[in-house]
Structure 1
Amino acid sequence: MGHLSPIRPSPAGPNGAARPLPPARDLAFAWSLIVLIAALAWVLTVGQARDMGVEPGTMGMALPLFLLLWLTMMAAMMLPSMAPVAITWARSISRRSSGWARTARTTEFVCGYLLIWTAFGLLAYGALAWTGSLVDGHPDAGRWIGAAAFALAGIYQLSPLKSLCLRHCRNPMSQLMRYAAFRPPARDLRVGLHHGAYCVGCCAGLMVVLVPLGVMNVAAMAGLAVVIFAEKLWPGGVLLGRALGVAFLVLAVLAPFHRWLLPGLQQAAPSMGGM
């Protein structure tokens, strides 16, 4: 990450000597696995979005289908910025584990991370269902929902909680070192859950803007993925996050008067076949 340096000395062995680091080929395989998962997730997400379009709310999806789609979206958007942490954790894993065992443990870390984002999807589903029903009953309410969503996102981007979580995501070494002392079972899953919770806290404000922009808006998803990557890895990421907070507050003021800013809160036009 931006301030994340690789763990050079491995955890000490029973005799106090440093254990050698995993071979470069094992780390390359872990990198390749994460990149492959993210790439496949993008392909699935874009294909599904092309079929569904951008509409208010949950677009009629039942909760299980929404969570499956949400998980795919989060894998596409979040794994590129999470990969350095997962690989850093893999570097700290004992040399006594085989290459496949280290890969399995890294996979367990990723599963824990995505499990937290799936849980956050429950809140997203509730918010989208509520705002969708409001727009269905009162189409003009969309502009005020959009203004409120941008304002909430802007305030959160400038909040102390955002700063705390972003600080962890940019430099998680202290937490990773603390978890290195934990014992199985499911230690790697717990590490992924813990880091995922900080990541949710870091990105929650950015996720809120999917309400006005549309949860299946591929351009919005791609833009947010770039922002998330830059916030966590770019040296100017902290400043970028604050600038976005100000920009969201400006959009909150403009949203009631410019409906084109709210593609995710506009009802689809009736088809000619229904006339």
Structure 2
Amino acid sequence: MRTVQRPITNDHPLRSGVLLPARDLAVAWALIVLIAALAWLLTVGQALDMGIEPGTMGMALPLFLLLWVVMMAAMMLPSVAPVAVTWAKGIARQSSGATRAARMTEFLGGYLLVWTAFGLLAYGGLALTGHLVDRDPQTGKWIAAAAFALAGLYQLGPLKNICLRHCRSPMAQLMRYASYRSPVRDLRVGLHHGGYCLGCCWALMVVLIPLGVMNIAAMGGLAALIFLEKLWYRGPQLARVMGVAFLVLAVLAPFQDWLLPGLHPSGQTMVPM
């Protein structure tokens, strides 16, 4: 029986076996690191100017979304870098460096677009909690308890595990993405992977309601947690440990004001984190 050998085509980036040159890989890594570093600089500078206050801190929706996207780029891109570079490595077409950079930008744009959409919900949640705290400062304790409890329960739930498993081992999905056709294939890949990443991390962002959206220490801690959950070999165990920790914080929140700097009414002092 004669075996028919199928020709290898360039239509499927991860099936063709064509890899980016080492210099282009370095450029891809450098681009992601540079974007994340600039995003952190902008985020820290803005946080120092604004301080920690409840709600949306008086920001209109367009300004909030702009700041939110920059913040998400700072917190999320380091953990998504391996997936982005893996996708870049699989680009099969013999295109110029500029085209490859454009495709990477399209991928990252789709990823951040998912978090921009979530920013709309975040703005509504912050506006609501800010209104409740302004009307009754004692409400903040129970909002904080609910936020920590939600994060803890989600960390221990099955959906978190499913999304985290995808983010930790994306190769099967990347092979599926190879069948996507142009145009906007890379945008679709970014959107799809961003959806899994959102499913993995959205509850962690909820704890910024009590801790403060502009709390630099909280942002740094959550960014480190997300990075370790996705890339450390004990990431799934860490996720469960943090789930238990958040549940403990939910119990403590009504009695410990230092746990809710982001829900303390403006103009009042409190113990800093």
Same fold (TM over 0.5): yes
The corresponding residue for 2:3 is none
2:9 is the alignment partner of 1:13: yes
Partner of 1:57: 55
- Provide the C-alpha distance between the structure 2 equivalents of 1:49 and 1:18, rounded to a whole number of angstroms: 46
Q: How does 1:33-112 map to 2 (within 5 A)?
A: 33-112=31-110
Find the aligned partners of 1:98 and 1:12 in 2 and give their Cα distance: 21
Other structure's SS at 1:269 match: coil
CA distance in 2, matches of 1:214, 1:270: 15
Aligned to 1:145: 143
Which residue of 29, 32, 39 maps to 2:30? 32
Read off the aligned partner of 2:146 and give its amino acid letter. Answer: A
Which residue among 187, 198, 216 is the counterpart of 2:196? 198
User: What CA distance in whole angstroms lies between the structure 2 residues aligned with 1:42 and 1:19?
Assistant: 35
The size of the alignment, in residue pairs, is 261
Q: Distance in 2 between matches of 1:185 and 1:97?
A: 15
CA contact (8 A) 1:19 1:95 kept: no
Give the unaligned 5+ runs of structure 1: 1-10
Q: CA deviation at 1:12?
A: 3.5
Matched with 2:156 is 158
Mapped to 1, the partners of 2:196 and 2:91 lie a distance apart of: 22
Q: Normalising by structure 2, what TM-score?
A: 0.92
How far apart are 1:96 and its partner, in Å? Answer: 1.6
Deviations 1:208-248 (A, max 9, x none): 10000000001000000000000000000000000000000
Deviation, 1:267, is 1.2
Superposed displacement of residue 130, structure 1? 0.4
Matched-pair contact (CA < 8 Å) for 1:148–1:252? yes
Q: 1:222 maps to which residue?
A: 220
For residue 176 of structure 1, what is the aligned residue in structure 2? 174
CA distance, structure 2, for counterparts of residue 270 and residue 248 of structure 1? 26
The change in CA–CA distance for 1:18 and 1:122 in structure 2 (over 3 A counts) is: closer
SS at match of 2:131: helix
Distance 1:153 1:104 in 2: 36
Relative distance call for 1:154 and 1:52 in structure 2 (3 A) is same
- How high is the TM-score relative to the length of structure 1? 0.92
> Aligned partners of 1:111, 1:227: CA distance in 2, in Å?
23
| 1:41–1:76 CA contact under 8 A, matched in 2 | yes
Contact 1:22 1:95 in 2 (8 A): no
Distance 2:67 2:204 in 1: 18
Change (3 A) 1:18 1:63: closer
Root-mean-square deviation (Å) = 1.8
